[in-house]
């Protein structure tokens, strides 16, 4: 690799990256409300004299570095936080009550800002264009889809895209991913079971939606266990049930919510169809009605390109060591990076943040989620390497 020094360069600006990450961490913002976050990104780009387009997808920022000729590579970070009250044992805890960067998107944004700074320093070596995507609303808002639809991958057309995600299952200093489907196609489900309310002492004068809701939850379990190929996985999880208030009243309705996931879009559509059919027939058999909907945004599966993962793997091995680069199994988490890889080749790469000594052992979306910040300069170096090595490769193949 021609850019070995990028890890040393990233380590030399470690404090600068960490400071930005901690500021972002203290002021988390939910999807499409990333106003302060987006402002910090733009202020930093202004200081670095990097031009950008704003806004895309409400709060998104699209920065450009390079000579504007030749191949184009994109690097992506997401900016949104989660509606979780932080309980992590850190000095820079969230100051926005009930909101937390529990998925590490503060780290993603800071690592990409670090890469922006290093790439700008090397701009005369960049023969081509590097686009930096700071996107909103990964956590269910499909911000990636909106960035794509608003032209983030066009003009000049992007040929490859890379994204990083902090990975609490991997120790700090490690990197992992895989070729093909890495993350699942995922979406939400909502159901309302409608019966007929009444006195709980006279169930024969009512139609009880509670027992029917319970039957529906149980019957849905057979979709994955009895209908899917065991080697082609899926998930049906009902995660919330609400109905009734009193011990002696049969309620009129029961509301349920959950998530459905599969490793392909066809798989997801199949599960959705079966959820709808089974719920309707179970309800009908017991004199209830059910409304099933799949609201919000269905994310396609995140599919990694073989060449992009091979480049990332080699780079990560050179920056750390080959035994710290891992072939991972696919996971059923969803990720809206998928909207980019639907259109162009790319790779979504996991970067280890686990450190038992620091108590960085909790999974993402946990109120005590914490990262070892030694991962940040490595992430910055990976971004720089993804871009520079890809531009070299694309020019050779042109």
User: Binding mask 183-222 vs Zn ion (x if CB under 5 A, - otherwise)?
Assistant: ----------------------------------------
Q: Which residue has the tokens 């990976």?
A: 382
In the complex, the smallest distance separating the C-beta of residue 80 from Zn ion, rounded to whole angstroms, is 9
Residue 242 CB neighbours (<10 A): 12
- Binding residue (CB under 5 A) for Zn ion from 24, 103, 112, 278: 103
State the nearest-atom distance from the C-beta of 373 to Zn ion, in Å: 17
Cβ proximity to Zn ion: between 84 and 250 the closer is 84
The size of the interface with Zn ion (CB under 5 A), counted in residues, is 1
CA angle 296, 300, 304 (to 5 degrees): 150
Whether 370 contacts 360, CB under 8 Å: yes
Residue 25 Cβ vs Zn ion, minimum distance, rounded to whole Å: 14
Where are the alpha helices (H) located in 286-351, listed in sequence order?
306-319, 338-341
| Least distance between Zn ion and beta carbon 10 (Å) | 21
- For the CB of residue 325, give the shortest distance to Zn ion in the complex, in Å: 21
Task: Report in angstroms how near the CB of residue 169 gets to Zn ion at its nearest.
Answer: 14
* Least distance CB 28 / Zn ion (angstroms): 12
**Three-state SS for 307?**
helix
Residue 249, preceding peptide bond in cis (omega within 30° of 0)? no
Q: Which residue, 337 or 386, has its beta carbon nearer to Zn ion?
A: 337
* Direct distance between the N- and C-terminal alpha carbons of the chain, in angstroms, rounded to an integer: 19
Query: CA 86, CA 102: separation in Å to the nearest integer?
Result: 8
Taking CB positions, which residue lies at the least distance from Zn ion? 103
Is the Cβ–Cβ distance between 223 and 271 less than 8 Å?
Answer: yes
Cβ atoms within 10 Å, residue 95: 11
Total number of residues shown for the chain: 398
**Whether the Cβ atoms of residue 269 and residue 287 lie closer than 8 Å to each other:** no
| DSSP H or E segment with residue 281 | helix 265-285
Judged by CB under 5 A, which stretch of 18-26, 95-103, 141-149, 278-286 contacts Zn ion?
A: 95-103
Instruction: From 66, 206, 85, 43, select the one nearest 127 (Cα to Cα).
Output: 66
The residue range among 41-49, 100-108, 272-280, 282-290 that interacts with Zn ion, by the rule CB under 5 A, is 100-108
Instruction: Output the CA torsion sign for 238, 29, 340, 1.
Output: negative
Of 87 and 307, nearer to Zn ion (C-beta) is 87
Q: Give the whole-angstrom CA distance, residue 244 versus residue 369.
A: 34
Range in contact with Zn ion (rule: CB under 5 A) among 98-106, 216-224, 251-259, 290-298: 98-106
Residue 84 found at the interface with Zn ion (CB under 5 A) = no
Q: How far is the CB of 333 from Zn ion (least distance, A)?
A: 7
List the interface residues with Zn ion, window 374-393 (CB under 5 A): none
Minimum CB distance to Zn ion smaller for 135 or for 253: 135
Binding segment for Zn ion (CB under 5 A), chosen from 101-109, 226-234, 241-249, 350-358, is: 101-109
Binding site for Zn ion (CB under 5 A): 103
């Amino acid at each position: 690799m021609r850019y070995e020094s990028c890890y040393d360069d990233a380590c030399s600006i470690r404090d600068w990256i960490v400071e930005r990450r901690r500021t972002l961490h203290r002021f988390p913002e939910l999807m499409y409300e990333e106003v302060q976050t987006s402002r910090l990104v733009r202020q930093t780009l202004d200081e670095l004299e990097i031009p950008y387009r704003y806004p895309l997808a409400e709060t998104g920022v699209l920065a450009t570095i390079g000579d504007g000729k030749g191949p184009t590579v994109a690097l992506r970070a997401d900016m949104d936080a989660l509606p979780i009250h932080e309980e992590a044992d850190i000095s820079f805890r969230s100051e926005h009550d009930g909101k937390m960067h529990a998925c590490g998107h503060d780290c993603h944004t800071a690592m990409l800002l670090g890469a922006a700074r290093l790439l700008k320093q090397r701009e005369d070596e960049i023969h081509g264009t590097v686009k930096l995507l700071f996107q909103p609303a990964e956590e269910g808002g499909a911000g990636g889809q909106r960035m794509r639809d608003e032209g983030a991958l066009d003009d000049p057309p992007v040929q490859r895209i890379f994204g990083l995600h902090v990975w609490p299952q991997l120790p700090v200093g490690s990197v992992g991913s895989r070729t093909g489907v890495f993350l699942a196609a995922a979406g939400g489900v909502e159901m309302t079971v409608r019966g007929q309310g009444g006195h709980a002492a006279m169930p024969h004068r009512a139609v009880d939606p509670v027992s029917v809701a319970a039957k529906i939850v149980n019957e849905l379990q057979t979709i994955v266990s009895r209908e899917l190929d065991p080697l082609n996985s899926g998930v049906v999880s009902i995660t919330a049930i609400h109905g009734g208030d009193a011990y002696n009243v049969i309620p009129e309705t029961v509301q349920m919510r959950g998530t459905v996931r599969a490793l392909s879009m066809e798989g997801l559509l199949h599960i959705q169809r079966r959820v709808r059919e089974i719920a309707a027939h179970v309800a009908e058999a017991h004199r209830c009605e059910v409304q099933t909907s799949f609201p919000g945004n269905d994310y396609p599966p995140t599919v990694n390109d073989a060449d992009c993962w091979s480049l990332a793997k080699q780079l990560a091995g050179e920056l750390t060591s080959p035994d710290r680069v891992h072939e991972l199994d696919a996971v059923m988490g969803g990720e809206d990076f998928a909207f980019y890889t639907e259109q162009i080749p790319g790779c979504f790469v996991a970067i280890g943040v686990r450190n038992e000594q620091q108590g960085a052992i909790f999974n993402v979306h946990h109120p005590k989620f914490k990262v070892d910040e030694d991962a940040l300069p490595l992430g910055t170096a990976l971004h720089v390497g993804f871009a520079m090595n890809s531009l070299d490769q694309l020019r050779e193949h042109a």
